[in-house]
Chain A
Amino acid sequence: MRWLIILLSAWSILCSGAVSYADDAFEALAEQAKGTEVRWFMWSGSPTINTWVDTYVAKEVKKRYDISLKRVSADAAVFVNKLLIEKQTGKDKGTMDLLWINGENFKNAMENGLLHGPVAASLPNYRFVDPAAVEFDFGYPVNGFEVPYGRAQFVFEYDSAVVASPPDSFTALQKWVKENPGKFTYPRPPDFTGSAFIRQAFYALCGGHQQFMQGFDESLYLEKRDALFSYLNDIKPYLWQEGRTYPKDISALDTLFERGEVLLNMSYHQANAQSKILQGRYKKTVRTFVMTDGSIYNTHFTAIPYNASNKAGAQLVANFLLSPEAQLNKNNPQNWGDFTALDISRLDPSMQKAFASLDLGEATLSLAELARSAVPEIPSAYLELLERDWEKKVLRTK
């Protein structure tokens, strides 16, 4: 019995030592990064998100760590390409310190060795994350090379004052579209949201998501894809512009929806509707809904390039973004509305209460409802094939 106690105390001393060692290492990073500049390359098509980054995040990291955050507008595909060229030409000191990335861009970056890592586990705020939830990014193992940033789920939106009852499944959608020609469309893959819509349809029409979770199986894909494409081609003539052309990205679809040219919208952000209502861009009667066939969710991340000049600063910012305070602030539709990547059960009670009492707004679905319909994303190899085949089989077909 005595031995057990001694063992246990030794073990706890060791652990706390380990923890404080990690914290010390982090303290060292903070010292190193003091007074430096961190350049964060991220998609900047949403003024709301940009404002949140430029005001709240930049101010906080300046206050806490004396870091000047510089946001640079860049699409993920573009900066991955840039890194690829830099790697090829041996550029060791790049100009990007932090990236907002996920999905197939992450996979491309990993396959070409473009990221620095693993970093995630060494960040203090990582202890609030459920590792199982962030193990895979579109089926590709993360291995700590990305730091969780937020959690997104695919939802549909409609104006309840105009549409009495929106279609709640893909079969219902098919009927709805034929009764309301020209009032629905989806952004063209490879736009992120448009591509997600295709994947949603794929799950719904080809028998659910479970079968695709075991990594990429080409024969399975070839067997199942026809159901999807014949559906999309079937509804095509009833779409906006008779399906001859599609909005080139989600912003274009947003514009159509805001102006009433189409009656349904879609978004990979659960609180998007509420956020837009608060800004006066959506009418107050807009509401969110999900399909009974399930709605895809994913986690989005931040990552550090292999040749970042300020790796220390980047880690500090990534860590801050993961902090409960930042995640709470981000979750508020007044600021952005992006859901948290943290595991609420791992937070302090006061933080848990804060999250629970967040007013997500009338237009956002309840967390319970969202959780009920959540299904995981598909391995990204399917994604690339779906996008390629969509172009061939739907866009180019007369």
Chain B
Amino acid sequence: MRRTAIFLHLLPLLIPFVAIFSCGLLITVLQSFGLFMFSYSYEDMLFAYKELASDDWFFMSALFSLYVATAASLFSLFIGTIFAYMVWKLPARYHSWTMIYKIPLILPHIAVGFIAFILLSKTGVLSSISYQTGMIDSFESFPGVLYSPYGIDLIGAYIYKETPFVMVMVYAVLCRFDRRRIETAVMLGASQLRIFFTLILPFIMPVLNTTFIILFVFTFGGFDLPFVLGDSYPGMLSIRIYEYFFHKDIVLRPVAMAMLTCVFLFSLLFIVGYLKVSTRVEREVRKL
């Protein structure tokens, strides 16, 4: 395809991308330097960043968010792939019966946070069940899953929400897989495990990579779910940003913007870095 043709094809996306998305981001970044800040002017343009650099809570919150994002994404990917494979291996006419797995996909993050809250709180449903089955003798002995400093409640809620997403993505790709290759492999004497690792996995690897990126960065910066589920210490970064934004004096707005800028830069670096690594790996795998 010629250069101009390529460019024209990309234009419908390029224009809104630059005009809306990039400009919006630019204003955020500029505000973090104290510009475009209504009637306020700041002598020190870097005051927001200096504020952040000396803030322990910011760093701890960032690390916590990274940890939750990694754990939730990896687990979802793992479980989701296995489940998708299980569904795909069923006879074709039964595939639509398994549709119930898509329920968490439909629920918005705020609803999932709400559900996790009712289930996991010390006087919640799981606690009542444990009490009735004699596992605990009062609600105080129920483990503190909610507000856990290890983020178990957040990770669990995110896994519930994200696993079906993985399943949908992987299933869609699996449908394009030629089943005859599996039949051939079985005829040649390969075990189920071998089939999965040497035939299926490389085929779905690209979609796994993409899904991981989406899940990871979304979880890292996700706001709705932690906001409804409840915060702990140090808590997710997005909640810190929200607080600086709405609950503190407008004068401190640049600090929120600075945090957002950091999140943005990190996400960008992550995407670029991950893509570079994964394309190299894919190229190696294809050579095999």
Check A244–B123 contact: CB distance below 8 A. no
Check A241–B231 contact: CB distance below 8 A. no
Check A81–B233 contact: CB distance below 8 A. no
Check B246–A245 contact: CB distance below 8 A. no
Check B122–A395 contact: CB distance below 8 A. no
Interface string of B86-123 (1 = CB under 8 A from A): 00000000000000000000000000000000000111
Interface positions of B from 29 to 83, Cβ below 8 Å from A: 38-39, 56-57
30 contacts between A and B (CB under 8 A): A75-B246, A77-B247, A78-B246, A81-B245, A81-B246, A81-B250, A84-B38, A84-B250, A88-B39, A108-B250, A112-B39, A182-B140, A190-B248, A244-B232, A244-B233, A245-B147, A245-B231, A245-B232, A247-B230, A248-B230, A248-B231, A252-B230, A255-B121, A259-B123, A260-B123, A261-B122, A261-B123, A395-B233, A396-B56, A396-B57
Interface positions of A from 79 to 130, Cβ below 8 Å from B: 81, 84-85, 88, 108, 112
Interface string of A187-224 (1 = CB under 8 A from B): 00010000000000000000000000000000000000
A-to-B contact residues, CB < 8 Å: 75, 77-78, 81, 84-85, 88, 108, 112, 182, 190, 241, 244-245, 247-248, 252, 255, 259-261, 384, 388, 395-396
CA distance A88 to B39 in the complex (A): 8
When A84-B250, A112-B39 are in contact, do A241 and B144 touch as well, CB less than 8 Å? yes
CA distance A384 to B245 in the complex (A): 15
CA distance A245 to B245 in the complex (A): 20
Complex A-B, nearest 5 residue pairs according to Cβ-Cβ distance, in ascending order: A259-B123, A190-B247, A77-B246, A245-B232, A245-B147
CA distance A252 to B233 in the complex (A): 16
Residues of A within 8 A of B147 (CB): 241, 244-245
When A182-B140, A245-B147, A261-B139 are in contact, do A88 and B230 touch as well, CB less than 8 Å? no
Interface positions of B from 223 to 257, Cβ below 8 Å from A: 230-233, 235, 245-250
CA distance A81 to B245 in the complex (A): 9
Check B140–A245 contact: CB distance below 8 A. no
| B149 touches A (CB below 8 Å) | yes
| Cβ distance B56 to chain A, nearest Cβ, rounded Å | 8
| Cβ distance A233 to chain B, nearest Cβ, rounded Å | 15
Residues of B within 8 A of A81 (CB): 245-246, 250
Residues of B within 8 A of A247 (CB): 230
* CB closest chain-A residue, reference B57: A396
CA distance A252 to B232 in the complex (A): 13
Assign chain B's interface to a size class.
20 to 34
* CB closest chain-B residue, reference A188: B231
* CB closest chain-A residue, reference B140: A182
* CB closest chain-A residue, reference B239: A248
For the complex with contacts A81-B246, A84-B250, 6 further pairs of A-B residues with Cβ separation under 8 Å are A244-B147, A244-B149, A245-B230, A255-B121, A261-B122, A388-B248
* CB closest chain-B residue, reference A243: B233
CA distance A241 to B143 in the complex (A): 11
Check A88–B232 contact: CB distance below 8 A. no
CA distance A396 to B249 in the complex (A): 19
| Cβ distance B55 to chain A, nearest Cβ, rounded Å | 9
* CB closest chain-B residue, reference A78: B246
| Cβ distance B239 to chain A, nearest Cβ, rounded Å | 9
CA distance A88 to B250 in the complex (A): 13
| Cβ distance B238 to chain A, nearest Cβ, rounded Å | 14
CA distance A136 to B144 in the complex (A): 44
CA distance A260 to B231 in the complex (A): 20
* CB closest chain-A residue, reference B36: A88
Residues of B within 8 A of A244 (CB): 147, 149, 232-233
CA distance A255 to B229 in the complex (A): 13
* CB closest chain-A residue, reference B247: A190
Residues of B within 8 A of A241 (CB): 144, 147
Residues of B within 8 A of A78 (CB): 246
CA distance A295 to B122 in the complex (A): 31
Picked from B122, B233, B249, the residue with its CB within 8 Å of the CB of A245 is B233
Interface centre among A88, A245, A260 (most CB of B within 10 A): A245
| Cβ distance B236 to chain A, nearest Cβ, rounded Å | 12
CA distance A383 to B95 in the complex (A): 59
Residues of A within 8 A of B56 (CB): 396
Interface positions of B from 137 to 196, Cβ below 8 Å from A: 139-140, 144, 147, 149
Check B121–A259 contact: CB distance below 8 A. yes
Residues of A within 8 A of B246 (CB): 75, 77-78, 81
| Cβ distance A250 to chain B, nearest Cβ, rounded Å | 14
CA distance A388 to B147 in the complex (A): 22
| Cβ distance B125 to chain A, nearest Cβ, rounded Å | 12
* CB closest chain-B residue, reference A191: B247
CA distance A388 to B51 in the complex (A): 14
Residues of B within 8 A of A75 (CB): 246
CA distance A112 to B249 in the complex (A): 13
| Cβ distance A113 to chain B, nearest Cβ, rounded Å | 10
* CB closest chain-B residue, reference A113: B39
CA distance A153 to B57 in the complex (A): 34
* CB closest chain-B residue, reference A80: B250
CA distance A183 to B202 in the complex (A): 54
Residues of B within 8 A of A260 (CB): 123, 139
